[in-house]
Chain A
Amino acid sequence: MQTIDLSETGLRAMNKMLHEQSGTTNQTAWEIVNPKGAHAIACGLDAPIEVTVKGSTGYYCAGMNQQATVNIHGSAGPGTGENIMSGKIVIEGDASQYLGATGHGGMIVVKGNASSRCGISMKGVNIVVQGNIGHMSAFMGQSGNLVVCGDAGDALGDSCYEARFFVRGTVKSLGADCEKKEMREEHLTLLQGLLDEAGIDADPSEFTRYGSARTLYNFDVDNAGAY
């Protein structure tokens, strides 16, 4: 285990150290102490390492992550895991807005709640939230899966494309062109796999699936009122 005290090492030196780890590194376990809400912690990683941040983080922790596993033992600031490509981010506390924005792949797990615009413009990432999510989540979501074990706020999935949403609790309102969908066997299997990967014990049959009604895919003036 390599331990970095961020208050002593500084952001640049710490990220540089993590960026220098290659695919064959044997220093796979890293611990960052004294994060104190700093921004851009462990962003741009591209190696199969596991980084544990002992405390809360600011903006864009683990942004654009590739391969790495990043554990946040605290709450996470805005844009955590933005544009994640692969790997895994696990947040023990709550996540602020724009969690996993535009994420292309990998998985983000939130043990607490996630704020507004969770999964905005998601492009393939899988996000599993044990608690609730805020308004405008998965706005313009293109692909990937958003799993919510609690409730979803207003305008879930507004103007979404092919992303899928599974919500166990209530949805305050659906966004434009987002509708309730049939939960078929294939979706139950998919959801079970996502919950297992996230390490969350929940029954897939208790969830409802939502997704695009696909009525806004090509511009039609008769739909102008929907925007």
Chain B
Amino acid sequence: MTQPWSVLAVALVTVTTLLVGLFGLRMARATTDFYVAGRTVSSWRNASAIGGEFLSAASFLGIASLVFERGAPTAWLPVGYTLGYLVLLVLVAAPLRRSGAYTVPDFAELRLESRAARLVCSALVVAVGWLYALPQLQGAGVVLRHVTGWPRWVGTLVVALVVGANVAVAGMRSITVVQALQYWVKLTAICIPAFVLLAVWLRDGRPAPTGLTDGWWDPVPGPSSGPGLWLTYSTLVALCFGTMGLPHVVVRFYTNPTGREARHTTVAVLVLLGVFYVWTPLYGFFGRIYLRDAPADDTLVLRLPDVAVPGVGGSLLSALLAGGAFAAFLSTTSGLVLSVAGVLDQDVVRPRAHRSPATSFRASTALAVVTPTVVALAATPLRLSTAVGYAFALAAATFAPLIVLGVWWPRLTGPGAIAGMLTGATTTAVSAALSGQVPAGWAAALTEQPALWTVPLATLVSVAVSLATHTSTPPHSLQTLQRLHTPENLSAGS
């Protein structure tokens, strides 16, 4: 069944994204009174940009369907997505900015003065990026199928092509204003239909769903029954510590002029994400009222308005949501592809292929898009939140020990960090491969949400190997730490 309004909205979002990417906004404004340099990106604008790139389809569509299916306890997920920024704020935001690193591999190279640590980091950035991009690409297929009835691969290919073309042709132009606008587009798209649904529900006078909020304080219910408390804490650990390692989030912190501004930005992100995540679980709530017997999948949010508000009104609201969801697919995917392509270009393609920077960057972009697209087409569709959760778990088990120890512990060595990251990556991959094949109960819980044991394990390995290899402590370790922790205005005089 084709939904013309939704198709129009999706097409509009896609074409706009393509045009903005290809032609830019001509927005580096020419100024006659030229005091441009004072015009650094303000922390609120930068926070909006982070929000715009961070709020993926998992947030936009995934949470609602989980709340619908499993009840209020899944509201821990948006809590976790937001809390990650609190951890970022407290532990690493300002030092990371002061380090002057643009990406996590840069940070590793700077802090550990080791080329090998940089390469391991780069490979993991690629892994996390692909893992995160995968559900976005698949989700696009699912949404487009829902809207048009076309097969799943169409949507995946549309997003892959638009993002690939944008990144390859426009170079790595990730304009802060455009990304900032994305946040407000998404907030509008999720907010307005929610208000309408709320009004309709109050007028209908339908009873509130029973059982939805029962035990909201309970742990997150997993796909298989198991020790629930473990799942909750493990999920929270993955989300809290994974955020600091997400490649498309880290690069945004570079735009802040100082460490202090980086902190302000993080606080602003907390506010903006908090505002956004108020709305998503509401859709699960309305789903229990209006779509009681519907199957739980990621298109729940899109189906709701049509049922609750029959007629053109409902179609328009659906269209708004579909457009918002597509904007989420496109912005998150392009942020990820940009980061992955940048890393591939810097560390794999350019050092070998002695081509012009533009050519090698295009080759890297192709590699960065094609791989997750092929996997997305070949693999069974994932539930958005599940797959994104794995990207977080991987980032948490690999980058969090590196960054937190790197920022706070002077004795971290290159071999220690590498051992930690490899431990985190291996344990996460093994858990993922084993999950679903082990009996329900503790074994299932440990493999389904591994972060609570992989993160401490990776940290311990990092510490132990660092202590064992104390002879290869980076020569400038203390100077680097001093630099990370000294506010800019203090060092300005020197």
A and B associate:
no
